[in-house]
Amino acid sequence: MDRSSSTAGRLARARAPLLEFRTTRRTELVDITAEVGKIVAASGIRHGVCQLYVPHTTAGLTINENADPEVARDIERALDRLVPRDAPYRHAEGNADSHIKSTLTGVSQSVPVEDGRLMLGRWQAIFFCEFDGPRQRQVRVKVVPDPAE
Amino acid sequence: MDRSSSTAGRLARARAPLLEFRTTRRTELVDITAEVGKIVAASGIRHGVCQLYVPHTTAGLTINENADPEVARDIERALDRLVPRDAPYRHAEGNADSHIKSTLTGVSQSVPVEDGRLMLGRWQAIFFCEFDGPRQRQVRVKVVPDPAE
Amino acid sequence: MDRSSSTAGRLARARAPLLEFRTTRRTELVDITAEVGKIVAASGIRHGVCQLYVPHTTAGLTINENADPEVARDIERALDRLVPRDAPYRHAEGNADSHIKSTLTGVSQSVPVEDGRLMLGRWQAIFFCEFDGPRQRQVRVKVVPDPAE
The ipTM estimated for the assembled molecules is: 0.91
Q: Which residue of A has its CA nearest to C58?
A: A64
pLDDT band at C99 (very low <50, low <70, confident <90, very high): very high
Give the helix/strand (H/E) hosting C149.
none
Chains that touch B (3 or more CB pairs under 8 A): A, C
Rg (CA), chain B: 16
Check if the beta carbon of residue C84 is closer than 8 Å to that of residue C97.
Answer: yes
Nearest CA to C62 out of C99, C96, C33, C20 is that of: C33
Which chain A residue has its CA at the smallest distance from C91's CA?
A70
Tell me if B119 and A56 make a contact (CB, 8 A cut-off).
Answer: no
State chain A's mean pLDDT as an integer: 92
Residues of A in contact with B130 (CB under 8 A): none
**Between β-strands B28-31 and A108-114, what pairing exists: parallel, antiparallel or unpaired?**
unpaired
pLDDT tens digits, C59-98: 999 999 999 999 999 999 999 999 999 989 999 899 999 9
**Greatest Cα pair distance in chain B:** 53
Structural contact between residues B52 and B137, judged by C-beta atoms closer than 8 angstroms: no
pLDDT at B85 over 60: yes
Whether the full predicted model's pTM is greater than 0.95, yes or no, is: no
Mean predicted lDDT score pLDDT of chain C: 92
Q: For residues A38 and A54, what is the distance between their CA atoms, to the nearest angstrom?
A: 18
> Is A3 a residue whose pLDDT tops 80?
no
Banded model confidence at residue A7, pLDDT cuts 50, 70, 90: low
CB-count exposure of residue C25 (10 Å: 0-12, 13-18, 19+)? exposed
Strands in B124-130's sheet, in edge-to-edge order, are B28-31, B124-130, B59-65
Report which of A103, A63, B107 is spatially closest to residue C140, judged by C-alpha positions: A63
Pick from A65, A66, A102 the residue to mutate for testing the C interface (most C CBs within 10 Å).
A65
Contact residues on chain A for C106, CB-CB shorter than 8 A: 62-63, 105-106, 109
CB–CB contact C62 B140 (8 Å)? no
Task: State residue B7's pLDDT score.
Answer: 56
Cβ-Cβ contacts under 8 Å, B78 against chain A: 83, 100
Distance from CA of A107 to the nearest CA of C (A): 11
Residues in chain C with CB shorter than 8 Å from the CB of B146 are 147
Backbone angles phi, psi at C92, to 5 degrees: -95, 10
Judged against a pLDDT cut of 50, whether residue C149 lies above it is answered with no
Alpha helices in chain B (DSSP H): 5-13, 33-43, 70-82, 96-105
Whether chain C has a CB inside 8 Å of the CB on B98: the answer is no
CB contact under 8 A, C75 and B103: yes
- Tell me which chain B residue has its CA closest to the CA of residue A85: B78
Amino acid sitting at position B73:
R
**Model pLDDT, residue C113:** 97
B147 touches chain C (CB under 8 A): yes
Q: Answer yes or no: is pLDDT of B1 > 90.
A: no
pLDDT number for residue B15: 79
Of residues C36 and B2, which shows the higher confidence score? C36
Beta carbons of A121 and C82 less than 8 Å apart = no
Does C121 contact B at CB distance below 8 Å? yes
Asked if A77 and A144 touch (Cβ cutoff 8 Å), the reply is: no
A74 touches chain C (CB under 8 A): yes
pLDDT per position as a tens digit, A88-143: 999 989 999 999 999 999 999 999 999 999 999 999 999 999 999 999 999 999 99
Hey, what amino acid is at C17? P
Q: Does B140 touch chain C (CB under 8 A)?
A: yes
Query: How many Cβ contacts (< 8 angstroms) between chains A and B?
Result: 86
Q: Is the pLDDT of residue A8 over 70?
A: no
Q: Residue B78: which of A53, A54, A83 has the nearest Cβ? A: A83
Weakest mean pLDDT among A68-82, B79-93, C10-24: C10-24
Percent of chain A scored above 90 by pLDDT?
86
Higher pLDDT, C111 or A8: C111
C40: which residues sit within 8 A by CB, 6+ positions away?
Answer: C50, C113, C116, C117, C118, C141, C143
* % helix, strand, coil for chain B, step of 5: 30, 30, 40
| CB–CB contact C103 A47 (8 Å) | no
Angle between helix B96-105 and A96-105 (nearest 10): 90
> Does B33 score more than 70 pLDDT?
yes
Are the C-beta atoms of residues A46 and A102 closer than 8 Å to each other? no
Over residues C53-63, mean pLDDT? 98
pLDDT given at position A15: 78
Task: Extract long-range pairs of C87-94: CB within 8 Å, 24+ residues apart.
Answer: C87/A78, C89/A70, C89/A74, C90/A70, C90/A73, C90/A74, C91/A68, C91/A70, C91/A71, C91/A74, C92/A68, C92/A70, C93/A68
CB contact under 8 A, B70 and A90: yes
Nearest-by-Cβ selection for C91 from A47, A70, A123: A70
**Predicted local confidence at residue B2, as pLDDT:** 43
Q: With an 8 Å Cβ cutoff, is C149 touching chain B?
A: no
Residue ranges of domains in chain B, CATH in brackets: 3-145 (2.60.120.460)
